[in-house]
Each structure stands twice: as structure tokens, then as C-alpha cells.
Structure 1
Amino acid sequence: MAIAMAQINETPPDLPASVPEPVRNLVLSCIAKSPSDRPASAANLARAAQALRRGDVASAASAVPGILPHGASILPSDAATQLLPSAGANTAAATTVLPAAGLGFGAAGAVGAAATAEELDEEPHKRSPWTIPLIVIVAILAIGLIAMLAALFLNPRGGATPSPSASPSVSATPSATPTPSATPTANTVNIDRNAYVDRPFEDVQAELEALGVSVTLVEGDAAGTEEQVGLVSDVNPSGNVAKGTAVKVTYYTEMASIPAPDAPTVKSPATPVPQGATVNVQWPGYSKCPAGTALSGYTVSIAGAGGSDGSFNVNAGTTNYQFAADSTGPITVNYVAYCGSRNSDPSGDLTIPVTPTPTTPSPTATPGG
């Protein structure tokens, strides 16, 4: 954070005075804070560097204007004064500067041959427009981090108490001592709820009592399958509990019974039914399946109808059944409903009387006919 703020607000230190001023200005233009003060492209930077190697300050300034001192104007290339020694020149010779006639420094007057960087007017320090937004963002992140740490310490997961041995300082050797919430003591036992769920309640009761707690068995919801009857559904409390604590063990009870449906009725024909007629019986749609199950169908049982006797499966969307009354005498009809794979008790019996088919008397002979 300190480095980021320094890059925004602070200026880099000056290069040594032994570095020619155009070279210093070229370096400073490359790291200028405002993009407009930097070289327009890498090609411009290359041309400026090559021109300075040749001692051509005017050409270098044409490529990168920041090479000239603040307020100086660009000279024609033929009036440029070589600030860098050319190849093979005596490097010990004094470096000449641009003539005063070619430089404009405002009210400060002309710059002499011995002018240095310290004698030039420095541009007033300007605050970057990103300073305030960056400070606001850093402050928001700091507040969020503090809130998160406070939540973790004030509300530790699972209600566990933070270890008293914890310290803000970094320890070279981590402590191997477990926290008090995870280690049973001589007067407490650790009860893992997940270790007992879906096990027979008798086994769970025996194991918990062996740990030194008392067990209270509680009947819970009805089992959804036969295999689930008697299995533990919950253990409360769990975690580290004091010995002698009453622990409730809840288990699944017997499956809920499926009530018998209402008795069927005759839809047609009117009773008594003549022998040989087609009988249509009906019943109300069954809606008494226990929670967690759904109606899956019916089985209709018929007795006393002769060739129509037997049990017949009917799908869940049907509420009537037809059969032929082939025999005389009463016909008995009942049915069961299925909720999933389990069936209800049989409904009440429907008794249908059947009358014999009337016979047609044969004609008698007339005397004297």
C-alpha cells in the first residue's frame, strides 16, 4: 500500500549531475505520472535515444518533447548544440549547452553555460486524481476485513470457544494442544450425532449409556419403509456434554396404517340385476394415503358371479369396474387401494342380488284345432 501511494504522490530522485540533462529528461519522461508527458510510442523513444547518441538534441526533442528543460523551445537541427560527445570525442571535454538565444525560460532570463538542473524552476507538485478514490477503496477493504475477523472471533463455527492459547503474534512452533471444545474432559463426553443416526435405537442406547449419559427414547415420525422402522433419526444434545446428561434419542416408529376405502356401489343396472346382465360398480377416488406416499392403483375382488369371479387390478385413475353376472344368487364385490407398494385393508362388501333369467312358456294346443 505504501509503495502504491508513493508511486502516485511522490516524485523520483534526480539522477546524478554527471548525467547530461537531455538524458535525465528522457529518463524522467519515460516514468512521468501523466501519460501525456511520456513518449508517444516506443518508436519515438528509440528515435530520441539514437538522436542523443549522435548529439542531435533538436531531433531528440522532436521525437520526445520532454527532453528539453521546462519552458525551452525546440531549436532547428542546424542550431542545435551538442550536449553528448560524438563517437571518438574526448569525454573529458566540457559539455556545451544550448545557446541562450535558443532557449526561452520566461521571467527567469537566459540560462548560462553553467546552468544546472537545480537552477531550473521545478514544476509545482500536483496531487494525482487517483489519490482520493484509492484511499476510499483501501478504507472500505480495511473495514470489510475488520468486520470479517470480528465475526469469526465473536461467532466461531459450531459454537466452539476460541482457544485461549491463540495469540496475534506468529509462533514458530504451532501449539499441539486441542481447543477445550473438541476434547472431552473427565466430566464430559463427546457425542457425535452423525455416528448414531440411521442405526437401531437399542444399539445407540447401549453405547450412550456406556459413555455415562442417561438416554430418553422418543418416538418420532412414522417410517417410510419397513427397513426404517426402529432406526434413530436424531440425537440431542450432541458435542461435548456433561456425564449424567439426559440425551434424547428419537427413532422412527411403525409405518402409518392405510385406512380402508369406502364400499363400492352399483352404477348400473338397477338392482336386482337380471342374470347375464353387465354390472358396473363404482367407488370414490381414494385420498387417504399417508404422507410421503401416493395412490398407485386398486384391486377389485368379485365372488358369486360365475365366470367373472376373481381379483382384478385397476389403475389409479379409474373409479369403476364392469363384469358379467353369469350366475344367479348374490354377488359380493370389494376392493383395496395401494399407496406405493402397500395396500389398505379391504373396503366394505357390496352385495348385488341377481334374479334368474325369465323363461318363456311354450304355447299349448287348442282342443279341436
Structure 2
Amino acid sequence: MSAFAKCIAGLLLMLCSLPAAAHKPSDSYLSLSREADRLVGRWDIALRDLDGVFDLDRNRDDRIDWGEVRTRREEIDRYASSRLLVSTSAPCPLRVTDHAIDRHSDGAYLVLSLAAACSGEGALSVDYSALFDIDAQHRGLLKLETAGGTVLSAVMSRERPRQTFEPGGASRWQAFVGYVRDGIVHIAIGYDHILFLIALLLPAVLVRDGRAWRPVPRLSLAAGTVIAIVTAFTLAHSVTLSLATLGMVQLPSRLVESIIALSVLLTAIDNVVPFLPSRRWTIAFAFGLIHGFGFASVLADLELPRGALALSLVGFNVGVELGQLALVAVLIPLAYLLRRTALYPSVVLRGGSVAIGLLAAGWLTERSLDLKLMPF
């Protein structure tokens, strides 16, 4: 077996080993407001994430009620206080002052009201370490309102658990870079988005000849197809990402996730038994509109003011595009080199599409069950 064949076989094995579920990433939402000598805020943590730490659903009915949370409330408060540390020139110990429930696009969240004495001026540091031990991809999405009324934002991750906000506007650039990075990560861990693009792009180096495939004679022909697909997908998801993040159009998270899984399944089936439009860019555009709602779920739930929202929206979208381009830069040259081998149409295109379709069918089934944890 050639080196290229081994590489493709390895990629197929990776597809088969992807997680059976690909959801909106695990996020918590932290809003802090800094005043002259105190800090107040709220911290929204998904009940499903707290269940992973405290095993709240003791009766295994896929619901979390108030009684189940109440029995562990003091433990939750201690956990929160130990995993979120704020300081200026001295530590600002946070206290949980109240509890509530709220519903985000992906389910029910416990809301912890926070307060702290926080005297002193200058830089404010936030150290975040919640939930990383149970989910390495978890993120804390932070919105900070300064004493002067400026709103700053940041993404807290396992790789970047500490953020420092200097006086003035320097942190705006840091926030922008953080959202670019988060957009790249969102693509890297968004298996459904990745597989949708792979399913769209796998036939780009071939031309359908009746029921058979023949290789494209020149790279320029494949490049034209790839550019059309990526451009259509980018335009479509950018439109709905912006509309959803600005609150102009909203769809239920479970519905969006289910349609995304369906888009992956239908595109994979079309690679084996063609039934969708032959111009793949039209498929990319149509389904890209739905994928944009999936991209928007993180930013919409953070509820940033318009000024900060524009910054985070642009940064996140830039990151998504960079992630897509990286995928194309790896996939297309390799596919072009393999296009004339018997391995490509039979194993890579058809076999890879079958593997993608099976994964998508599993996602669609799981997401359609609607097993959200209910609010208490």
C-alpha cells in the first residue's frame, strides 16, 4: 500500500473513531461588573455539566429538579468559589448570593449571583478552572463591564485559563484574538461541520460520467469547484451567523443541531447515490444557512452589547474561515494526488461517504430524541 493510501486509510479510521455525539460545545457564561470597590455578576452553568460533576440526576429520569439541586447546593457553591478566582492588587473572594434558573439555546442553566469586595484600581485578573477536568473542550465565556462602562469579552479555556484586563482599550485586541482562536477551535472540534465540508469536497477532484467517476484532468478544474463550494458555504453561514448573533432571527438549538446532522447525512448519501443538485455550491449555500445558526449559538447566548458583539462576531467568523481554509489546504492536494488511483473512488469517496453517513445518522437519531435536562 502506498504512503498516500495509508494516509487516507488513517483518515477513515479517524472518522470511524469520532465521538458518537457532536453537540454545541460545553460553555458557561460569566458576566461581571466592576465598580469602585466591589464586583458583582452572574455565572450561568449548564445543568448537564453540573450533573457531570455532582451526579445530580440521582433517579436517572433524564431530568434535574429543584430537589436534586438543593441537596447539593452548598457543594456547588463551594465548587464555584474554588474554580473562579478574581484579583486586582489583592484577591477578591467571590460569594454566591443567590440562585436562579435560566434557559439558553441548548437547555437549562443554573444561575449563580456573585458578589465580592474588590478594592483597588489597575488590572483585573480572572482565573477560571471549572469543568476542565470533565470536559477538556469546555469554555467560560466572559463579559466584563468596567467601572467606566466599557464592555470587554474573553474566552477562558483549558489552554488559556487566566485573563488579565488592563485599564484602557488594550484588552479589545486581546478579546478579538481570543475570538479568532475560538472560531478556529470551534471548527476543529465541530465534527459535524468538518464532515459536512469533507463530504462536499471529496468529489471535487472527480467528474461524474454516467454511473462512474473519472478524474479531473487539471487542478484548475478542481480548484474552481472548491472555490465555489467554500465561497457559497462562507457567504451562507456568515449571513445567518450575523442574523442570529444580533438576535434578528433565532431557531431552537435542538432543531438546528438536527438539521445540521441531516445535512451531513444527505450530502454523504449523494456521494454514493446522487440525488441532490449537481452544482455542489448550491448544496453548500443551502445547508450553510443552517450551519451558521450552529456557529452563532456561542455568541448569541453571551448577550454582548452591540459594540462588543461586533468585535466578537468579526473575530469568531475570521477564525471559522481560517479553520475551513486549513482543512481545504490539507484535503484537496491529497485528494488531487490520489484521484487517478482505484482507491480513491471506491474507498475514499464511497467508503468515506458511507462512514460519514453512518455517523451523521447516529447524530440525527440522538439529537431527535430531545433529551434535554428540564428546568426545575
Shorter-chain TM-score tier: under 0.3
The one of the two structures with greater contact order (alpha-carbon pairs below 8 A, sep at least 6) is 2
- TM-score normalized with structure 2 length: 0.20
Identify, as 1 or 2, the structure richer in helix.
Answer: 2
Give 1 or 2 for the bigger CA radius of gyration.
1
- TM-score normalized with structure 1 length: 0.20
